[in-house]
Structure 1
Amino acid sequence: MDIRRLVDSPGRGAGGLLAIPLVLIIVITVAGVVSPSSVHLGPLLVIAPALTASFAGPWRTAIIGALAVGAQALVAALNGGVGTANHVWQFTALVVLSVLVVFFCYLREGHTRQLSRVRVVAETAQRVLLRPPPERVGPLRAAWRYVTADADAQIGGDLFAVVRTGRGGTRVIIGDVRGKGLAAIGEASVVLGAFREGARHCETLPDLVQAMDQSVGADLEDVADSADDPGEHFVTALVLDLPDDGRQGTMISCGHPPPLLLRDGRVTVLDSSAPSPPLGLGLPAGGPHCDAFAFADGDTLLLYTDGVIEARSPQGAFYPLADRAATFPPGRPEALLRHLLHDVTAHTGGRLADDVAVLAVERVPAPAPGTAPDRRST
């Protein structure tokens, strides 16, 4: 899960910036010494600690503040006004303001550390929750990417999983929880927990989706009427069953964007003929509809969340995923996702408006006896 480190504490990498307040102190001190006694530049020295607090921690800010106070005393001594009321008040005001700046800098750094710890815990929970699939899963080769729109948040509601059934097959899910943050992680945990349990025990894909919908519905009832609840809860999901010994797969769409099938440079959109409502909103009376599709050796399935197809260019045009995927060079799933994310980012002008989760699954041809395994370039 391409999760980046979150928030550096103030002061890291600030050594070079310290030259700015130091130069300010020197310039103001020299100007105060050479200026007429009627011109008082000492109050400007408070700029130095205030500026330092914007990029450094409390200790460095305190040092700059002490230097500013010392510079004020030097100016007063050289101008012969150490004992005058004007210089005493200037000196006192500078000391008080410097102390206040250091104090608030200390509070800010404490809050930043606390926020960083909370975010790291949330990221760790999300990483453990998703359990990204390995590169090889039975006869399949898989790759994934997860990118959050907000570089500071790192916590989203997109989810995916790849699970071996124990009966000669693999089941796959990709989904999108309404909302973000810790609440979204909690709901995603319910979905993935129900999926992993049902993927191994449910005989059919409709049975699995029904079990997931019941689990999600029961969980959402517990939070739907809470005081801080925004109102509507649901989870879009696409669930697939990929047997090892066949050249066909089945899928059930619960309000999720359709997957793409890549075969020999051609792209096919696998639309569901009768998609079900999102999980948590109740399934049709007859149960979810299951669609079959061909999935032969060398084919690749591209699964994604709506952050991909809803990505807009600066002119407001949506990202044409199916058209663009047909132009990507052939390669392993890892290379496919690398090209995709680079292309989406270029389409949006460098910034995503929503979280993006993508999962590519390729059926790897079994090597013929006496031949080397597939070594296509990534």
Structure 2
Amino acid sequence: MNRLVATLESRMGTQAVLRTLPFAAMATVVVVDLLAGPSLGLLPLLTLGPAFAAVTGGPRHTALAGLVALVLSAPLAYHDHQLSHPRITVTLVAIVGVTAAAMLASRLRAEGRRKLADVRLVAEAAQRVLLHPVPRRAGDLRIALSYTSAAVDARIGGDLFDIARGPGGIRLIVADVQGKGLDAVETAASVVGAFREAAYDEPTLADVGRHLEEHLARGLGGEKFVTAVLAEVREHEIALLNYGHPPPLLLGRDGRVRWLEPTQEAPPLGLVALAHAGPEPYGCEFRKGDEILFYTDGVYEARDRNGNFYPLGDRAPRLLRDREPQDALDMLERDLVEHVGGPVPDDAAMLLVRRERP
């Protein structure tokens, strides 16, 4: 909360400085002209005021800067002995013209921002519907979720996760749809719907995977695909099925850290028919106190200003242990954003599953 307040205060301070920039520019022109005398002919540079105002403020701010430029031009022309010179007429016409054009540009920019904000609100609402509330408890499992939206100028993506109870145990999916925008969100919604349908009924995890592949083979065209990892939590173990997705990270109660790599690489969903065989189920022990972190590529591909990838394997064990699952995952999310030094360039989804101790 303190960090959010500090960020807002910093942004407000920056905006205040930028809004004074047009008037500072005109003041500089006046001072230089008074010191240098009429030889330089700096009157036309007063148009810098409304020009800068269009970038830093709205139409009213731009009009005010233009008015100030007009007011300053008269005494400055008198000081330079140019009241009867054609240059003052040219300067006044230039100020009026630049102010009008700047006001129009400022208005168009404001309308564009409003439209972009409306589109993003609709997109975020669509993703909230897609990523419906996932239960935070399922049997002896504690579940934490994190979804970090990409930068403002990035389009929405197709990261998704879901949890359901199946015949063999608790089943979950974490996936990333290829591409961006509404097409990716539409595909993600289709994947979630197919998973919910299959997870409740199919007898094995492999059958759930086949159901998803058949569903996407009918619905996807061209070379679109979806990387995904499916999991089924059983009594003392977890079974996994990996379709070209980043491997989950196991954090054992005894301190062990292990990437849950598949026994063999497999293509993503939507491309399995092009391969010789689909993924082979694999798994490991999953006992009381153990936890597993699932994530999308927006997490481990996040880079800092020097181009270094986020060291998930080093940070996760330190930040996730001995904390409440959601608190721990929130801390990991903040650490990811700090590593990048700003908004993440791609959507980053994480799901943490912890098996409660007796």
**When the two structures are superposed, what TM-score results if normalisation uses the length of structure 1?**
0.78
Contact preservation (8 Å) 1:209, 1:288: no
Matches within 5 A, 1:1-378: 14-29=15-30, 36=37, 39-76=40-77, 81-153=82-154, 155-165=156-166, 169-221=169-221, 224=222, 232-243=223-234, 246-264=235-253, 265-282=255-272, 288-311=279-302, 321-322=312-313, 324-328=315-319, 329-341=321-333, 344=336, 354-365=346-357
Q: Which runs of 5+ in 1 are unaligned?
A: 225-231, 367-378
In 2, Cα distance between equivalents of 1:55 and 1:79: 30
The Cα shift of 1:239 comes to: 0.7
The Cα shift of 1:111 comes to: 1.4
- Structure 1 residue matching 2:122: 3-state secondary structure: helix
Relative to 1, partners in 2 of residues 1:21 and 1:197: Cα closer, same or farther, differing over 3 Å?
same
Which amino acid is 2:353 matched to?
A: V
Q: What do residues 246-277 of structure 1 show as CA deviations (whole Å, max 9, x unaligned)? A: 22332211111222222222123323234542
Which amino acid is 1:257 matched to?
A: P
Aligned length: 346
Contact preservation (8 Å) 2:30, 2:76: yes
The Cα shift of 1:343 comes to: 5.2
In 2, Cα distance between equivalents of 1:110 and 1:194: 39
As a proportion of its length, which structure holds more helix? Answer: 2
In 2, Cα distance between equivalents of 1:77 and 1:259: 75
Which amino acid is 2:185 matched to?
A: I
The Cα shift of 1:106 comes to: 1.1
- Structure 1 residue matching 2:117: 3-state secondary structure: helix
- Alignment root-mean-square deviation, CA: 3.3
Relative to 1, partners in 2 of residues 1:122 and 1:345: Cα closer, same or farther, differing over 3 Å?
closer
In 2, Cα distance between equivalents of 1:319 and 1:359: 17
The Cα shift of 1:323 comes to: 5.0
Contact preservation (8 Å) 2:242, 2:262: yes
Which amino acid is 2:86 matched to?
A: A
In 2, Cα distance between equivalents of 1:181 and 1:191: 16
Contact preservation (8 Å) 1:314, 1:348: yes
In 2, Cα distance between equivalents of 1:302 and 1:313: 22
Relative to 1, partners in 2 of residues 1:201 and 1:111: Cα closer, same or farther, differing over 3 Å?
same
- Structure 2 residue matching 1:45: 3-state secondary structure: helix
Relative to 1, partners in 2 of residues 1:298 and 1:110: Cα closer, same or farther, differing over 3 Å?
same
In 2, Cα distance between equivalents of 1:93 and 1:266: 72
Contact preservation (8 Å) 1:300, 1:333: no
Q: Which runs of 5+ in 2 are unaligned?
A: none
In 2, Cα distance between equivalents of 1:32 and 1:67: 16
- Structure 2 residue matching 1:53: 3-state secondary structure: helix
In 2, Cα distance between equivalents of 1:295 and 1:133: 21
Which amino acid is 2:348 matched to?
A: V
- Structure 2 residue matching 1:233: 3-state secondary structure: coil
**When the two structures are superposed, what TM-score results if normalisation uses the length of structure 2?**
0.82
The Cα shift of 1:84 comes to: 3.8
